[in-house]
Amino acid sequence: MQRWKQTSLVLCLIWIALLSTHSVVVQAGASPYHFGFKKSRNGQLPSIEQEGFKPILEKHEAIFMGSSREKELYLTFDNGYENGFTTDVLDVLKEKNVPAAFFVTGHYIQDQPDLMKRMVQEGHLIGNHSWSHPDMTTISSERIREELEKVRVETAKLTGQLEMPYLRPPRGIFDERVLEISRSEGYTSVFWSVAYMDWDTKKQRGKQHAYDNVMAQLHPGAVILLHSVSSDNAAALGQMIEDARKQGYTFKRLDQLKTRQY
């Protein structure tokens, strides 16, 4: 009788473990999306109407763009690693008096403490890009929380920025579980409405290429995604800012975005 009870207990524990593992796999693999959008052209607004994820962005109050009634631009950079150009970017932002948000990974925090401190000292926001840059749809809910919390804590220790309200999911991959957990941890997920293929350091095509791609997509309320590893972006940034202002645009920090649009 005692042996039967022990065997039953072991089988029960195995069954619970299997159920727990299965739950993580199912949740992690449920409806992953890669963020995409119809680009703005000739003054028309960008759109995510055909992408299939608009309802869950609305539900979890994620950011795609700001108000289309305001000629405001929100400049954001993804900083997974340093390629020697962030100092140039910060110099331009300081000269032009333009705020930005930098979404950083754990590697960047550990590798570039001085640049991190400078970002905060010069009035920029640091956002969460996860500690190890995983596809968060494939990891457990507990691991997601750990990835986000480690970035927040280490950034606060290093820079004194105690609040970190903004998150950009690595590679723009997400599902409803990722957005839900992120929101429960106090984050607003930030996507973008202006971007181009700028992250491949082996395919840089010059200042004019960056300038043309970004300026062709400008629209009211734009959340602009740039990668600071791009030499093209660093070279073109000053002219982008000057010419956007000539068109009547102003640059705002993400925490000044009051009305979002989908």
Interatomic CA distance for residues 171 and 32, integer angstroms: 12
8-22, 55-69, 185-199: which has the minimum mean pLDDT?
Answer: 8-22
Read off the tokens for 142: 């507990």
Number of structural domains (the chain) is 1
pLDDT at 80: 96
Q: Give the domain extent around 110.
A: 55-256
- The active-site residue out of 78, 175, 198, 232 is 78
5-14, 159-168, 252-261: which has the minimum mean pLDDT?
Answer: 5-14
Average of per-residue pLDDT values in the chain: 90
Which CATH number fits the domain that encloses residue 152?
3.20.20.370
Interatomic CA distance for residues 226 and 210, integer angstroms: 10
pLDDT at 110: 98
Residue 11 lies in a domain: no
Per the annotation, the verdict on 91 as an active-site residue is no
- The active-site residue out of 60, 133, 219, 227 is 227
Q: What is the mean pLDDT of residues 47-75?
A: 96
Residue 73 lies in a domain: yes
Residue 4 lies in a domain: no
Residue 16 lies in a domain: no
Residue 225 lies in a domain: yes
Given a cut of 50, whether residue 3 has pLDDT beyond it is: no
Q: How far is CA 203 from CA 84, 169, 206, 214, 216, in A?
A: 16, 24, 9, 17, 20
Residue 28 lies in a domain: no
Q: Which amino acid is at 120?
A: V
Name, in order, each residue with C-beta under 8 angstroms of 256's C-beta and a sequence gap of 6 or more. Answer: 72
What is the percentage of the chain residues whose pLDDT exceeds 70? 89
Residue 127 lies in a domain: yes
Per the annotation, the verdict on 78 as an active-site residue is yes
Residue 234 lies in a domain: yes
pLDDT band at 30 (very low <50, low <70, confident <90, very high): low
